Chain A
Amino acid sequence: MNESVPIRVTVNGAELVAEVEPRLLLSDFIRHRARLTGTHVGCEHGVCGACTVLVDGEPQRSCLVFAAQVDGAEIETVEGLAGTTASADGGDALHPIQQAFHEEHGMQCGFCTPGFLMTTQALLREHPHPSDEQLLDALSGNLCRCTGYLNIVRAVRAAEAAIEGAAPATSDASASTGGAHGA
């Protein structure tokens, strides 16, 4: 029953080939096999959103998906966020979303933060200027117990403004799909 299945995925632009047990959660695959521990597990029942990653550009709770289900997918995690965007200096600079969470004090313990960052990344790709309703609808899938959300909402608005300021005038559409990995 536990026979391994082969999968091939792209994680933050790097290709990974692995044999996985069918029951291995994507969250455990990312954390323990890909050794990317920035994706955190807070509830394992799909409510807290701490484990949110992007699968083919869509935010997914990696605790509700088996690794075997994402064969062939492109996965983005928090570790890939810096350097994947719009930042002209490329490489190492924090992504504008990360920078905004820092500047607006949109984080305390940091445990839920990667999930919020990835949710925000998906939100702003799809809606570069989300309405309040769109913004709260997206963020309400992630739980934070420290900040009370006030500064998280501010951070997302600040990120929205920063991305708009940094991007060339026509870039909204080109940044909106999941394929936008850095080199």
Chain B
Amino acid sequence: MAREALVGQSVPRVEDERLLRGAGRYVDDIDPPGGAEAAFLRSPHAHARIVSVDTTLARLMPGVVAVYTGADLADQVEPMVFQIAKITPPPVRESTGATSRVHPMPALPTERVTYVGQPLAIVVAESRYLAEDALELIEFELEPLPAIVDPVAALEPGAPLVEPEWGTNEALSYHFVRGDPEAAFANADVVVEETFRSHRHVAAPIETRGVVAAPDPYDGTLAVWSSTQTPHQLRDFLAGALRRAPETLHVRAPDVGGGFGPKGAIYPEELVVPWVASELGRPVKWIEDRSEHFSATTHGREQVHTIALAADGDGRIVGLRDRVVHNCGAFNILGLVVPYNTLTHLVGMYDIPVVDVELRAAITNTGVTAPYRGAGRPEAVFAMERIVDRLARTLGLDPADVRERNAIPPSALPYETGMIYRDGTRQTYDSGDYPRLLRTARELVSDEDWAARAGSHREVGVGYAAYVEGTGVGPFESASATVLPGGRVRVATGSSSQGQGHRTTLGQIAADALGIPLDRIEVVGGDTGAIATGFGTIASRSVVVGGNAVAKACAALREQALTAAAQLGIEVGEDDELPLAAIGGALTPFNPGRPAGAPARLHAQVEHYPGPVTYAAGVHAAVVAVDPRTGEVEVLRYAVAHDCGRAVNPAIADGQIVGGTMQGIGGALYEELVYDDDGQLRTGSFMDYLLPTAAELPEFRLAHVDALSPLNPLGVKGLGEGGAIGPMAAIANAVEGALADHGVVVRSCPLSPDRVRGLIRAAHEPVATARQESP
């Protein structure tokens, strides 16, 4: 009988037991002997000239080991430049005129600070308590400069400049045009236009960032543990910034308590702490506290879209125009990564002949923005799916019908959008059934009398959000598979886990490829000592790129083992468990009967370079009850119809979707990172930035409409981000639908009671004015 495949089964997670027993090892649990602890002095100003930083008193405080400022590091640590920010594939440039300024970020600044929370100095002491005491003893003078916070205002002439030598705050731009927008909009039956703002979020994993660095007392190599999604990239970044050979750095991501994108960036603290440890010759630990996290970990989502649709009277969309402003925050660290995702996910699952999208990104005196779960897609989907609803409402059509009318039919796949994806390839939707996803989502919310459930005092609305998601972007991922003494197999990959369960899912893939049980496999992710190359866990790519890399490495190892078995005269039936202990044992150089030329050990390593991205897709449906008197929004049901290709582990896949969706619901209803006009952070704690709790959990429905990816042998698509892409749009559409009689237009989230009441008031108040204008 054939061995039963593990891929496709909800195998219980192998990582759980140690975590449940409190035996996980997160970065703050790593305490090298003799270690000191660090704290950072951070800028209290959004924009200021550094006049002086005097650390004399702090250095004299008992218990303080050392204090360093930007001046101390200036000729020691290179300013930070991300490789990816330097790369614009020529087809991207040619099709959109995309330009992006390379914007080096000093590890610690010497001349100016440009956002609240920017690190200015580091104190190393015998304990964190003492280090924070010593921060109070640093005497510094900062001369405040005019700050700019709003990205639209930042692009206007005369705005305060974040980088005066640029002469502008514009960091990047692109403009994509397909077809003849002027004609499409001039000749359309109907044109709708609106401005939507996607507000600023923070990912807020429950574990903050942290880094521990420990120099080896013998050869000075540096062991670095970081709560990062990309340990190999951190190693290479450190090598460049600290001018060290990469092989003198051993970077590991231990257990990581959630990532969601921000831990995929590299941060000043991740360079400064290793440098300081190396300088002092002793281990140094820094753990970010929550208030630091709010100001100094990257944010996401802030874009303003002025978007228009041209359509015929049946709601068939003939043209899309969007003018987007994106807020980079104080540094343009990752260039096109997020803003360009917005372009390539704006059109979504619709067949729209004419497209005209222009984006300009501004640097501002706010925290740096970078990918956060969805990375440019939720922003695009919020604008697009809101304007689709505006179109439907203008025409008096059902928004779900309008979506189905415009959806790309399965017969049109593979479908080229006419755009170039960020990897330089022609954007092509490879597989999926979008009309069926739409129908499925409708069905998931059509089995109840919602008005009855809401009660007579509340209004009910149903809102949809449809999206596609390019997943599994390259350039590559690594994997190795090694037979250990005793016959167990160690699989190592650059794809580390921040809770996604890679030891289980990648183990399932390896077990199937090798023909051995899961409990004979150990998966190591995120250790540069276990595998020399790697990329990391970002952009919904681990199972697509890492998973296929693991499958390849394990298939190669199986071939090696079978060849060796034949040489050794060990018979292996097709469906037998691969007898790796016997094969590996017989290959030992001390076995006199070992065939000449046989390998001494069984080991395979691959670097897997995927082709173009594969397209996951989803349709979300939110049913809300809104109390117009209080503005309170209750989500009565939240439904997701999803296409994630083959689910390696359905329970884990669903967990990713539900978790992502709840983050999205948080952004739709509760979460907003707010700066005041001076660039002061007004939401610096969990008391002000509200994460959803279990009490906000709505009734969930989840259905899979999975179309296997034709682009990789496993048939998988990425699914880490999808859940977070739809909720802002779906809930905003539902709330607007619920309040349709009030004439409310939802232009931004979160839809707090206060904001909903404001919308209702605004819709009623200006009626007189509007009447005067319209006749």
Contacts and interface: CB of A to CB of B under 8 A. Distances in A.
Interface string A117-130: 10000000000000
Interface string A89-126: 00000100010011101011111111001000000000
A113 B697 CA distance: 18
Interface residues of A, number: 55
A139 B696 CA distance: 11
Contact of B20 (A102, A112, A143, A148): A102
A148 B28 CA distance: 25
B24 A42 contact: no
Contact of A111 (B15, B257, B700): B257
Contacts of B256: 109
A43 to B, nearest CB: 4
Given A109-B498, A149-B697, A77 B22 contact: yes
A26 interface: no
Contact of B687 (A31, A47, A79, A108): A47
- Give the residue among B10, B16, B203, B700 with the most A Cβ atoms within 10 A: B16
Contacts of B258: 108-109, 111, 145-146
Contact of B22 (A38, A44, A147): A38
Contacts of A112: 206, 257
Contacts of A82: 21
Given A45-B686, A108-B655, A143 B693 contact: yes
A105 B10 CA distance: 10
B26 A40 contact: yes
Interface in B192-238: 203-208
Contact of B659 (A40, A42, A147): A147
A84 interface: no
B20 A103 contact: no
Contacts of A11: none
Nearest to A103: B12
Interface in B603-660: 651-652, 655, 658-660
A163 interface: no
B24 A110 contact: yes
A41 interface: yes
A37 B28 CA distance: 8
A42 B207 contact: yes
A171 B498 CA distance: 39
A17 interface: no
Contacts of A23: 129
B626 to A, nearest CB: 21
Contacts of B260: 145
B21 A79 contact: yes
B499 A105 contact: no
B693 A139 contact: yes
A94 B22 contact: no
Given A107-B16, A146-B258, A42 B29 contact: no
A44 to B, nearest CB: 6
Interface string B492-524: 000000111100000000000000000000000
B16 A102 contact: yes
A81 B20 CA distance: 9
Contacts of A114: 22
A148 B80 CA distance: 35
Given A105-B652, A145-B663, A151-B655, A136 B694 contact: yes
A21 B63 CA distance: 15
A78 interface: yes
A24 B498 CA distance: 30
Given A48-B686, A102-B12, A111-B257, A149 B694 contact: yes
A153 interface: yes
Q: Is the interface of A mostly helix, strand, loop or mixed?
A: loop
A112 B20 CA distance: 10
B15 A110 contact: yes
B686 A98 contact: no
A39 interface: yes
Contacts of A101: 16, 20
B17 interface: yes
A98 B31 CA distance: 27
Contacts of B15: 110
B290 interface: yes
B19 A143 contact: no
B596 interface: no
Contact of A105 (B22, B26, B203, B651): B651
A39 B26 CA distance: 11
B405 interface: no
- Give the residue among A50, A94, A102 with the most B Cβ atoms within 10 A: A102
B13 interface: yes
A87 B248 CA distance: 49
Contact of B257 (A24, A109, A139): A109
A147 B582 CA distance: 42
A102 B22 CA distance: 13
A152 B692 CA distance: 14
A66 to B, nearest CB: 12
Contact of A44 (B25, B257, B289): B289
A42 B208 contact: yes
B206 A102 contact: no
A143 B686 contact: yes
B697 A43 contact: no
Contacts of A31: 28-29
Contact of A150 (B257, B289, B697): B697
A86 interface: no
Given A40-B257, A103-B12, A109-B205, A45 B20 contact: no
A111 B259 CA distance: 11
A110 B29 CA distance: 14
A79 B203 CA distance: 29
Given A45-B685, A111-B207, A150 B663 contact: no
Given A94-B17, A143-B691, A109 B499 contact: yes
B255 interface: yes
A37 B18 CA distance: 12
Contacts of A107: 16, 19-20
- Top 4 A-B pairs, shortest CB-CB distance: A38-B22, A109-B499, A111-B257, A148-B662
Given A31-B28, A40-B257, A47-B687, 13 more contacts: A37-B22, A37-B26, A37-B28, A40-B207, A42-B208, A45-B290, A47-B685, A79-B22, A81-B21, A94-B17, A103-B12, A108-B501, A136-B697
11 contacts: A37-B22, A103-B12, A108-B659, A109-B207, A109-B258, A110-B255, A136-B697, A145-B205, A146-B499, A148-B700, A148-B723
Interface of A: 21, 23-24, 31-32, 36-45, 47-48, 50, 77-79, 81-82, 94, 98, 101-103, 105, 107-114, 117, 136-137, 139-153
Interface of B: 10, 12-13, 15-17, 19-26, 28-29, 31, 129, 203-208, 255-258, 260, 289-290, 498-501, 651-652, 655, 658-663, 685-687, 691-695, 697, 700, 723
